């Protein structure tokens, strides 16, 4: 799955269209225009799908931080 992202024609910032689809599934609709409400300039943009771009729809999962195991402490400093 991919998210369809547009660039705001006024501010150039990315707008998430909330359309999640596969590139193959939407390939036949690239001339279709969608209305997106822009969070950046507050307007509604009617943009053709071919103006958008896809990003992998994976960012909803929280990034899991790998815990680094503490390799045996207190053996690193050499006593004299
Ligand atoms: Zn905008």
Q: What is the pLDDT of residues 3-26, one digit of tens each?
A: 999 999 999 999 999 888 888 888
pLDDT tens digits in sequence order for the chain, 80 residues long = 889 999 999 999 999 998 888 888 888 888 899 999 999 999 999 999 999 998 887 655 444 555 566 655 556 666 66
Among left, alpha and beta (phi > 0; psi -120 to 50; other), residue 32 is beta
Instruction: Please tell me the predicted confidence (pLDDT) of residue 30.
Output: 84
Quickly tell me which residue has 């209305």 as its tokens. Answer: 35
What residues are neighbours of ligand 1 (ion), with CB under 5 Å? 8, 10, 38, 40-41
2-56: in CATH 2.30.30: yes
Q: Is 0.85 topped by the overall pTM?
A: no
Query: Domain limits of the chain?
Result: 2-56
CB 21 within 8 A of CB 66: no
Instruction: Please tell me the predicted confidence (pLDDT) of residue 63.
Output: 47
Shortest CA distance to 3 belongs to which of 55, 62, 66, 71?
55
Ligand 1 geometric centre to CA of 33 (Å): 15
- Contacts of residue 68, Cβ cutoff 8 Å, sequence gap at least 6: none
């Amino acid at each position: 799955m991919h998210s369809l992202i547009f660039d705001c024609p006024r501010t150039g910032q990315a707008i998430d269209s909330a359309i999640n689809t596969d590139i193959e599934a939407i390939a036949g609709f690239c001339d279709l225009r969608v209305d997106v409400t822009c969070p950046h300039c507050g307007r509604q943009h009617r943009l053709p799908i071919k103006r958008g771009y896809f990003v992998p729809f994976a960012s909803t999962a929280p990034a899991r931080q790998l815990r680094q195991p503490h390799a045996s402490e207190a053996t690193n400093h050499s006593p004299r």
